Chain A
Amino acid sequence: MSESVENERLGRVLAALLRYGTWAASTLIAIGMLSGAASRISGTADAGTLGYGLMKTGVAVLIMLPVARVLVLFGIFLCRRDLAYALISACVLAILGFGVWIGMHS
Protein backbone atom coordinates (compact mmCIF):
# COMPACT_ATOMS: atom_id res chain seq x y z
CA MET A 1 0.00 0.00 0.00
CA SER A 2 1.39 3.44 -0.94
CA GLU A 3 2.20 5.96 1.79
CA SER A 4 -0.41 8.48 0.64
CA VAL A 5 -3.19 5.84 0.72
CA GLU A 6 -2.04 4.77 4.19
CA ASN A 7 -2.05 8.39 5.36
CA GLU A 8 -5.52 8.94 3.94
CA ARG A 9 -6.79 5.92 5.90
CA LEU A 10 -5.02 7.15 9.02
CA GLY A 11 -6.64 10.57 8.59
CA ARG A 12 -10.09 8.98 8.31
CA VAL A 13 -9.55 6.85 11.45
CA LEU A 14 -8.41 9.87 13.49
CA ALA A 15 -11.22 12.05 12.10
CA ALA A 16 -13.82 9.46 13.16
CA LEU A 17 -12.28 9.10 16.63
CA LEU A 18 -12.22 12.85 17.27
CA ARG A 19 -15.62 13.57 15.75
CA TYR A 20 -17.56 10.77 17.50
CA GLY A 21 -15.60 11.28 20.73
CA THR A 22 -16.51 14.97 20.79
CA TRP A 23 -20.18 14.20 20.13
CA ALA A 24 -20.23 11.51 22.84
CA ALA A 25 -18.68 13.89 25.39
CA SER A 26 -20.98 16.74 24.34
CA THR A 27 -24.04 14.49 24.65
CA LEU A 28 -23.01 13.44 28.17
CA ILE A 29 -22.50 17.07 29.18
CA ALA A 30 -25.84 18.13 27.63
CA ILE A 31 -27.78 15.36 29.40
CA GLY A 32 -25.95 16.19 32.63
CA MET A 33 -26.84 19.88 32.30
CA LEU A 34 -30.51 19.14 31.61
CA SER A 35 -30.66 16.64 34.46
CA GLY A 36 -29.02 19.15 36.81
CA ALA A 37 -31.42 21.90 35.73
CA ALA A 38 -34.41 19.57 36.26
CA SER A 39 -33.20 18.73 39.78
CA ARG A 40 -32.74 22.41 40.65
CA ILE A 41 -36.28 23.19 39.48
CA SER A 42 -37.95 20.14 41.07
CA GLY A 43 -35.68 20.00 44.14
CA THR A 44 -34.72 16.31 43.70
CA ALA A 45 -31.17 15.71 44.85
CA ASP A 46 -30.70 12.38 43.02
CA ALA A 47 -31.13 13.91 39.57
CA GLY A 48 -28.64 16.64 40.55
CA THR A 49 -26.02 14.10 41.60
CA LEU A 50 -26.60 12.10 38.42
CA GLY A 51 -26.41 15.28 36.32
CA TYR A 52 -23.14 16.34 37.93
CA GLY A 53 -21.71 12.83 37.43
CA LEU A 54 -22.65 12.84 33.73
CA MET A 55 -21.13 16.28 33.20
CA LYS A 56 -17.95 15.23 34.98
CA THR A 57 -17.74 12.10 32.81
CA GLY A 58 -18.29 14.21 29.68
CA VAL A 59 -15.48 16.60 30.68
CA ALA A 60 -13.20 13.64 31.46
CA VAL A 61 -13.98 12.08 28.05
CA LEU A 62 -13.05 15.38 26.37
CA ILE A 63 -9.74 15.52 28.24
CA MET A 64 -9.00 11.87 27.38
CA LEU A 65 -9.84 12.26 23.69
CA PRO A 66 -6.47 13.72 22.60
CA VAL A 67 -4.75 11.03 24.73
CA ALA A 68 -6.73 8.38 22.82
CA ARG A 69 -5.66 10.05 19.56
CA VAL A 70 -1.96 9.82 20.49
CA LEU A 71 -2.48 6.23 21.65
CA VAL A 72 -4.04 5.31 18.27
CA LEU A 73 -1.13 6.96 16.47
CA PHE A 74 1.35 5.06 18.67
CA GLY A 75 -0.39 1.75 17.78
CA ILE A 76 -0.48 2.57 14.06
CA PHE A 77 3.18 3.61 13.93
CA LEU A 78 4.08 0.42 15.78
CA CYS A 79 2.06 -1.69 13.30
CA ARG A 80 3.83 0.05 10.42
CA ARG A 81 7.17 -0.69 12.16
CA ASP A 82 7.88 3.04 12.11
CA LEU A 83 9.83 2.86 15.35
CA ALA A 84 11.05 6.46 15.32
CA TYR A 85 7.48 7.79 15.31
CA ALA A 86 6.24 5.13 17.71
CA LEU A 87 8.93 6.39 20.11
CA ILE A 88 8.01 10.05 19.57
CA SER A 89 4.30 9.22 20.19
CA ALA A 90 5.29 7.30 23.32
CA CYS A 91 7.21 10.39 24.52
CA VAL A 92 4.06 12.53 24.08
CA LEU A 93 2.02 9.93 25.97
CA ALA A 94 4.60 9.88 28.77
CA ILE A 95 4.50 13.69 29.04
CA LEU A 96 0.67 13.62 29.18
CA GLY A 97 0.85 10.95 31.89
CA PHE A 98 3.40 13.03 33.80
CA GLY A 99 0.96 15.97 33.67
CA VAL A 100 -1.70 13.85 35.38
CA TRP A 101 0.89 12.72 37.96
CA ILE A 102 1.80 16.36 38.68
CA GLY A 103 -1.90 17.13 39.15
CA MET A 104 -2.27 14.25 41.62
CA HIS A 105 0.79 15.20 43.67
CA SER A 106 0.60 19.00 43.82
Chain B
Amino acid sequence: MSAETIFWLFVVSFGASALGGVLGMASGIFIVPILMLFFGIDIHLAIGASIVSVIACSCGSAAPFLKARLTNIRLAVVLEVATTLGALTGVLLIGIIPTEFLYGLFALILVLSALQMLARRREAGSLAPAARSWGTLLRLHSSFPECAAGHDVHYHVSRVPLGLALMYGAGVVSALLGVGSGVLKIPAMDSALRLPLKVSTATSNFMIGVTATASAGAYFMRGNIDIDMAGPVALGSVLGALLGARLLMGIPADRLRLFFVVVLMLLAIVMMLAAFGIRIM
Protein backbone atom coordinates (compact mmCIF):
# COMPACT_ATOMS: atom_id res chain seq x y z
CA MET B 1 0.00 0.00 0.00
CA SER B 2 1.43 3.43 -0.95
CA ALA B 3 2.30 6.12 1.63
CA GLU B 4 -0.28 8.36 -0.07
CA THR B 5 -3.10 5.79 0.40
CA ILE B 6 -2.13 5.31 4.07
CA PHE B 7 -2.22 9.10 4.55
CA TRP B 8 -5.70 9.36 2.96
CA LEU B 9 -6.99 6.44 5.04
CA PHE B 10 -5.91 8.37 8.14
CA VAL B 11 -7.45 11.66 6.95
CA VAL B 12 -10.80 10.14 5.94
CA SER B 13 -11.08 8.18 9.22
CA PHE B 14 -10.21 11.30 11.21
CA GLY B 15 -12.83 13.33 9.34
CA ALA B 16 -15.60 10.70 9.70
CA SER B 17 -14.85 10.23 13.38
CA ALA B 18 -14.62 13.97 14.11
CA LEU B 19 -17.92 14.74 12.39
CA GLY B 20 -19.59 11.75 14.05
CA GLY B 21 -18.20 12.87 17.41
CA VAL B 22 -20.10 16.18 17.21
CA LEU B 23 -23.35 14.16 17.25
CA GLY B 24 -22.08 11.57 19.71
CA MET B 25 -22.03 8.96 16.95
CA ALA B 26 -19.31 6.37 16.38
CA SER B 27 -17.65 6.41 12.97
CA GLY B 28 -17.67 2.61 12.52
CA ILE B 29 -20.80 2.74 10.41
CA PHE B 30 -19.03 4.98 7.84
CA ILE B 31 -15.65 3.29 7.72
CA VAL B 32 -16.64 0.11 5.83
CA PRO B 33 -18.63 1.90 3.06
CA ILE B 34 -15.87 4.54 2.70
CA LEU B 35 -13.13 1.91 2.41
CA MET B 36 -15.17 -0.04 -0.14
CA LEU B 37 -16.42 2.85 -2.26
CA PHE B 38 -13.47 5.24 -2.26
CA PHE B 39 -10.51 2.90 -1.80
CA GLY B 40 -11.88 -0.15 -3.64
CA ILE B 41 -11.15 -2.41 -0.67
CA ASP B 42 -12.80 -5.83 -0.33
CA ILE B 43 -15.63 -5.82 2.23
CA HIS B 44 -13.99 -8.49 4.43
CA LEU B 45 -10.73 -6.50 4.75
CA ALA B 46 -12.75 -3.32 5.32
CA ILE B 47 -14.62 -5.06 8.16
CA GLY B 48 -11.29 -6.13 9.72
CA ALA B 49 -9.94 -2.56 9.66
CA SER B 50 -13.19 -1.08 10.91
CA ILE B 51 -13.53 -3.43 13.89
CA VAL B 52 -10.10 -2.29 15.18
CA SER B 53 -11.18 1.35 14.92
CA VAL B 54 -14.39 0.49 16.81
CA ILE B 55 -12.30 -0.90 19.71
CA ALA B 56 -10.04 2.17 19.66
CA CYS B 57 -12.97 4.60 19.81
CA SER B 58 -14.77 2.66 22.56
CA CYS B 59 -11.65 2.44 24.77
CA GLY B 60 -10.56 6.00 24.02
CA SER B 61 -13.89 7.56 24.95
CA ALA B 62 -14.86 5.39 27.96
CA ALA B 63 -12.89 7.31 30.62
CA PRO B 64 -15.15 10.39 31.07
CA PHE B 65 -18.25 8.18 31.42
CA LEU B 66 -16.52 5.96 34.01
CA LYS B 67 -15.27 8.92 36.03
CA ALA B 68 -18.74 10.46 36.00
CA ARG B 69 -20.16 7.14 37.37
CA LEU B 70 -22.56 6.88 34.43
CA THR B 71 -21.43 3.40 33.34
CA ASN B 72 -23.24 0.47 34.96
CA ILE B 73 -20.24 -1.87 35.09
CA ARG B 74 -22.10 -4.91 36.45
CA LEU B 75 -24.78 -4.63 33.78
CA ALA B 76 -22.10 -4.25 31.10
CA VAL B 77 -20.37 -7.48 32.20
CA VAL B 78 -23.67 -9.40 32.21
CA LEU B 79 -24.66 -8.14 28.75
CA GLU B 80 -21.16 -8.79 27.38
CA VAL B 81 -21.78 -12.52 27.78
CA ALA B 82 -24.53 -12.15 25.16
CA THR B 83 -22.73 -9.66 22.88
CA THR B 84 -19.51 -11.72 22.75
CA LEU B 85 -21.46 -14.94 22.07
CA GLY B 86 -23.26 -13.08 19.28
CA ALA B 87 -19.91 -11.85 17.92
CA LEU B 88 -18.56 -15.42 17.85
CA THR B 89 -21.67 -16.49 15.94
CA GLY B 90 -20.95 -13.68 13.49
CA VAL B 91 -17.33 -14.85 13.11
CA LEU B 92 -18.56 -18.35 12.27
CA LEU B 93 -21.21 -17.04 9.87
CA ILE B 94 -19.11 -14.53 7.95
CA GLY B 95 -17.32 -17.19 5.93
CA ILE B 96 -20.56 -18.92 5.01
CA ILE B 97 -23.05 -16.20 4.15
CA PRO B 98 -22.91 -14.56 0.71
CA THR B 99 -21.27 -11.14 0.37
CA GLU B 100 -24.49 -9.80 -1.17
CA PHE B 101 -26.27 -10.54 2.11
CA LEU B 102 -23.65 -8.48 3.98
CA TYR B 103 -24.27 -5.54 1.63
CA GLY B 104 -28.03 -5.84 2.22
CA LEU B 105 -27.63 -6.09 6.00
CA PHE B 106 -25.32 -3.08 5.94
CA ALA B 107 -27.93 -1.10 3.98
CA LEU B 108 -30.55 -1.99 6.62
CA ILE B 109 -28.27 -0.88 9.50
CA LEU B 110 -27.49 2.38 7.66
CA VAL B 111 -31.23 3.10 7.29
CA LEU B 112 -31.83 2.30 10.97
CA SER B 113 -28.97 4.65 11.91
CA ALA B 114 -30.50 7.43 9.80
CA LEU B 115 -33.91 6.91 11.39
CA GLN B 116 -32.38 6.87 14.87
CA MET B 117 -30.58 10.11 14.09
CA LEU B 118 -33.85 11.78 13.11
CA ALA B 119 -35.83 10.51 16.11
CA ARG B 120 -35.17 12.04 19.52
CA ARG B 121 -34.42 9.58 22.27
CA ARG B 122 -36.90 9.64 25.13
CA GLU B 123 -36.64 8.43 28.71
CA ALA B 124 -38.72 5.24 29.00
CA GLY B 125 -39.05 5.60 32.77
CA SER B 126 -37.97 3.02 35.30
CA LEU B 127 -40.32 0.14 36.23
CA ALA B 128 -40.64 -0.96 39.86
CA PRO B 129 -38.48 -4.09 40.21
CA ALA B 130 -39.98 -7.46 41.13
CA ALA B 131 -38.36 -9.17 44.12
CA ARG B 132 -37.21 -12.10 41.99
CA SER B 133 -36.39 -10.25 38.75
CA TRP B 134 -32.99 -10.78 37.12
CA GLY B 135 -32.14 -7.15 37.80
CA THR B 136 -32.69 -7.66 41.52
CA LEU B 137 -31.01 -11.07 41.72
CA LEU B 138 -27.94 -9.83 39.82
CA ARG B 139 -27.84 -6.54 41.80
CA LEU B 140 -28.04 -4.48 38.60
CA HIS B 141 -30.14 -1.61 39.97
CA SER B 142 -27.90 1.39 40.53
CA SER B 143 -27.72 5.18 40.62
CA PHE B 144 -25.90 7.97 38.82
CA PRO B 145 -25.06 11.55 39.80
CA GLU B 146 -27.44 14.06 38.23
CA CYS B 147 -25.78 17.48 38.26
CA ALA B 148 -29.05 19.38 37.69
CA ALA B 149 -30.79 17.64 40.60
CA GLY B 150 -27.68 17.91 42.80
CA HIS B 151 -28.02 14.32 44.05
CA ASP B 152 -27.82 10.71 42.87
CA VAL B 153 -30.75 9.43 40.81
CA HIS B 154 -31.66 5.78 41.42
CA TYR B 155 -32.86 3.56 38.59
CA HIS B 156 -33.94 -0.05 38.10
CA VAL B 157 -32.88 -2.44 35.36
CA SER B 158 -35.88 -4.25 33.82
CA ARG B 159 -36.42 -7.13 31.41
CA VAL B 160 -32.85 -8.45 31.45
CA PRO B 161 -33.61 -11.62 29.39
CA LEU B 162 -35.04 -9.46 26.57
CA GLY B 163 -31.99 -7.21 26.83
CA LEU B 164 -29.68 -10.25 26.58
CA ALA B 165 -31.49 -11.52 23.47
CA LEU B 166 -31.22 -8.12 21.77
CA MET B 167 -27.55 -7.84 22.75
CA TYR B 168 -26.86 -11.23 21.19
CA GLY B 169 -28.25 -9.88 17.91
CA ALA B 170 -26.16 -6.72 18.27
CA GLY B 171 -23.04 -8.89 18.73
CA VAL B 172 -23.80 -10.87 15.54
CA VAL B 173 -24.23 -7.65 13.54
CA SER B 174 -21.06 -6.15 15.04
CA ALA B 175 -18.94 -9.10 13.88
CA LEU B 176 -20.61 -9.41 10.48
CA LEU B 177 -20.30 -5.72 9.55
CA GLY B 178 -17.32 -4.49 11.60
CA VAL B 179 -19.45 -1.91 13.44
CA GLY B 180 -20.02 -1.17 17.13
CA SER B 181 -23.77 -1.87 16.79
CA GLY B 182 -24.57 1.13 18.97
CA VAL B 183 -27.60 1.57 16.68
CA LEU B 184 -29.01 -1.69 18.13
CA LYS B 185 -27.55 -1.54 21.64
CA ILE B 186 -28.84 1.90 22.56
CA PRO B 187 -32.53 1.23 21.72
CA ALA B 188 -32.25 -2.11 23.54
CA MET B 189 -30.97 -0.34 26.63
CA ASP B 190 -33.35 2.62 26.41
CA SER B 191 -36.51 0.62 25.68
CA ALA B 192 -36.00 -2.99 26.85
CA LEU B 193 -33.87 -2.42 29.95
CA ARG B 194 -35.42 1.02 30.55
CA LEU B 195 -32.18 2.68 31.56
CA PRO B 196 -31.78 6.45 31.85
CA LEU B 197 -30.38 7.84 28.55
CA LYS B 198 -27.02 8.88 30.01
CA VAL B 199 -26.52 5.45 31.58
CA SER B 200 -27.44 3.56 28.40
CA THR B 201 -25.07 5.71 26.29
CA ALA B 202 -22.18 5.21 28.74
CA THR B 203 -22.80 1.48 29.26
CA SER B 204 -23.26 0.80 25.53
CA ASN B 205 -19.98 2.59 24.74
CA PHE B 206 -18.21 0.61 27.48
CA MET B 207 -19.45 -2.72 26.06
CA ILE B 208 -18.68 -1.98 22.41
CA GLY B 209 -14.92 -2.55 22.85
CA VAL B 210 -15.31 -6.03 24.39
CA THR B 211 -17.92 -7.02 21.78
CA ALA B 212 -15.64 -5.92 18.96
CA THR B 213 -12.64 -7.68 20.51
CA ALA B 214 -14.47 -11.04 20.37
CA SER B 215 -14.48 -10.84 16.56
CA ALA B 216 -11.28 -8.79 16.13
CA GLY B 217 -9.25 -11.45 17.99
CA ALA B 218 -10.49 -14.11 15.54
CA TYR B 219 -9.99 -11.89 12.47
CA PHE B 220 -6.48 -10.92 13.64
CA MET B 221 -5.46 -14.57 14.07
CA ARG B 222 -7.05 -15.49 10.71
CA GLY B 223 -5.02 -12.78 8.98
CA ASN B 224 -8.16 -10.87 7.97
CA ILE B 225 -6.82 -7.62 9.43
CA ASP B 226 -4.55 -5.77 7.01
CA ILE B 227 -2.20 -3.87 9.33
CA ASP B 228 -1.32 -1.20 6.73
CA MET B 229 -5.03 -0.42 6.54
CA ALA B 230 -6.15 -1.01 10.15
CA GLY B 231 -3.33 1.12 11.63
CA PRO B 232 -4.16 4.48 9.98
CA VAL B 233 -7.91 3.85 10.20
CA ALA B 234 -7.72 3.15 13.96
CA LEU B 235 -5.39 6.09 14.61
CA GLY B 236 -7.50 8.48 12.52
CA SER B 237 -10.71 7.31 14.21
CA VAL B 238 -9.44 7.60 17.77
CA LEU B 239 -7.85 11.03 17.20
CA GLY B 240 -10.98 12.20 15.39
CA ALA B 241 -13.20 11.02 18.26
CA LEU B 242 -11.01 12.60 20.95
CA LEU B 243 -9.96 15.85 19.27
CA GLY B 244 -12.42 16.34 16.44
CA ALA B 245 -15.51 17.04 18.50
CA ARG B 246 -13.63 19.85 20.30
CA LEU B 247 -12.36 21.32 17.03
CA LEU B 248 -15.79 21.28 15.41
CA MET B 249 -17.89 22.60 18.28
CA GLY B 250 -18.92 25.67 16.22
CA ILE B 251 -20.79 23.60 13.61
CA PRO B 252 -24.59 23.72 14.17
CA ALA B 253 -25.61 20.21 15.28
CA ASP B 254 -29.01 20.30 13.54
CA ARG B 255 -27.52 20.96 10.10
CA LEU B 256 -24.86 18.34 10.69
CA ARG B 257 -27.56 15.88 11.75
CA LEU B 258 -29.42 16.45 8.49
CA PHE B 259 -26.19 16.13 6.51
CA PHE B 260 -25.45 12.78 8.22
CA VAL B 261 -28.98 11.50 7.57
CA VAL B 262 -28.56 12.28 3.85
CA VAL B 263 -25.09 10.63 3.75
CA LEU B 264 -26.37 7.54 5.60
CA MET B 265 -29.32 7.18 3.20
CA LEU B 266 -27.06 7.60 0.14
CA LEU B 267 -24.67 4.96 1.49
CA ALA B 268 -27.65 2.69 2.19
CA ILE B 269 -28.80 3.04 -1.45
CA VAL B 270 -25.30 2.27 -2.76
CA MET B 271 -25.03 -0.77 -0.45
CA MET B 272 -28.48 -2.02 -1.45
CA LEU B 273 -27.56 -1.70 -5.14
CA ALA B 274 -24.35 -3.66 -4.43
CA ALA B 275 -26.50 -6.34 -2.78
CA PHE B 276 -28.21 -6.78 -6.17
CA GLY B 277 -24.88 -6.80 -8.01
CA ILE B 278 -25.02 -3.19 -9.24
CA ARG B 279 -21.77 -1.31 -8.55
CA ILE B 280 -21.85 2.45 -9.17
CA MET B 281 -18.29 3.23 -7.97
User: Footprint of B on A, CB under 8 Å?
Assistant: 4, 7-8, 10-12, 14-16, 18-19, 21-22, 25-26, 29-30, 32-33, 36-37, 40-41, 52, 55-56, 58-60, 62-67, 69-70, 73, 84-85, 88-89, 91-92, 95-96, 98-100, 102-104, 106
Does A66 lie within 8 Å of B212, measured CB to CB?
Answer: yes
The stretch of B103-111, B177-185, B221-229 that contacts the partner chain: B221-229
Closest partner residue, chain B, to A20 (CB atom): B63
CB distance from B95 to the nearest CB of A (A): 7
CB distance from A1 to the nearest CB of B (A): 15
A19 to B63, CA, bound (A): 6
Closest partner residue, chain A, to B64 (CB atom): A15
> Which one of A52, A55, A63, A88 has the greatest number of beta carbons of chain B within 10 Å?
A63
Count class of interface residues, chain B: 35 or more
A52 to B10, CA, bound (A): 16
In the complex, chain B residues whose CB is within 8 Å of the CB of A11: 66-67, 69, 71, 73
CB distance from A33 to the nearest CB of B (A): 6
> Which one of B6, B88, B227 has the greatest number of beta carbons of chain A within 10 Å?
B227
Does B69 lie within 8 Å of A8, measured CB to CB?
Answer: yes
Does A29 lie within 8 Å of B88, measured CB to CB?
Answer: no
Does B74 lie within 8 Å of A85, measured CB to CB?
Answer: yes
Does B227 lie within 8 Å of A95, measured CB to CB?
Answer: no
Q: Which residue of A55, A66, A100 is within 8 Å of B209 (Cβ)? A: A66
Closest partner residue, chain B, to A52 (CB atom): B227
Does A55 lie within 8 Å of B81, measured CB to CB?
Answer: no
Does A103 lie within 8 Å of B218, measured CB to CB?
Answer: yes
A30 to B236, CA, bound (A): 10
User: Footprint of A on B, CB under 8 Å?
Assistant: 2-3, 6-7, 10, 52, 55-56, 58-60, 62-64, 66-67, 69, 71, 73-74, 77-78, 80-81, 84-85, 87-88, 91-92, 95, 138, 143, 152, 209-210, 212-222, 225, 227-228, 230-232, 234-235, 238-239
Closest partner residue, chain B, to A8 (CB atom): B69
Closest partner residue, chain A, to B80 (CB atom): A92
Closest partner residue, chain B, to A95 (CB atom): B84
Does B62 lie within 8 Å of A37, measured CB to CB?
Answer: no
If the complex has contacts A55-B231, A73-B73, are A22 and B220 also in contact, measured as CB distance less than 8 A? no
Does B73 lie within 8 Å of A29, measured CB to CB?
Answer: no
Closest partner residue, chain A, to B10 (CB atom): A33
In the complex, chain A residues whose CB is within 8 Å of the CB of B77: 70, 73, 85, 88-89, 92
A100 to B219, CA, bound (A): 8
In the complex, chain B residues whose CB is within 8 Å of the CB of A7: 69, 73
A84 to B139, CA, bound (A): 10
Main secondary structure of the interface of A (DSSP, over half): helix
If the complex has contacts A84-B138, A102-B218, A103-B220, are A96 and B213 also in contact, measured as CB distance less than 8 A? yes
If the complex has contacts A26-B56, A26-B235, are A12 and B74 also in contact, measured as CB distance less than 8 A? no
Does A56 lie within 8 Å of B227, measured CB to CB?
Answer: yes
Q: Which residue of A33, A73, A85, A95 is within 8 Å of B214 (Cβ)? A: A95
What would 23 A/B residue contacts be, using CB atoms closer than 8 Å? A10-B73, A11-B69, A25-B234, A26-B60, A30-B235, A36-B6, A58-B231, A59-B220, A59-B227, A59-B234, A60-B220, A62-B56, A67-B213, A69-B209, A85-B74, A92-B80, A92-B81, A92-B84, A95-B214, A98-B88, A102-B218, A103-B91, A103-B220
Does B3 lie within 8 Å of A69, measured CB to CB?
Answer: no
Does B67 lie within 8 Å of A55, measured CB to CB?
Answer: no
Does A69 lie within 8 Å of B6, measured CB to CB?
Answer: no
A32 to B85, CA, bound (A): 33
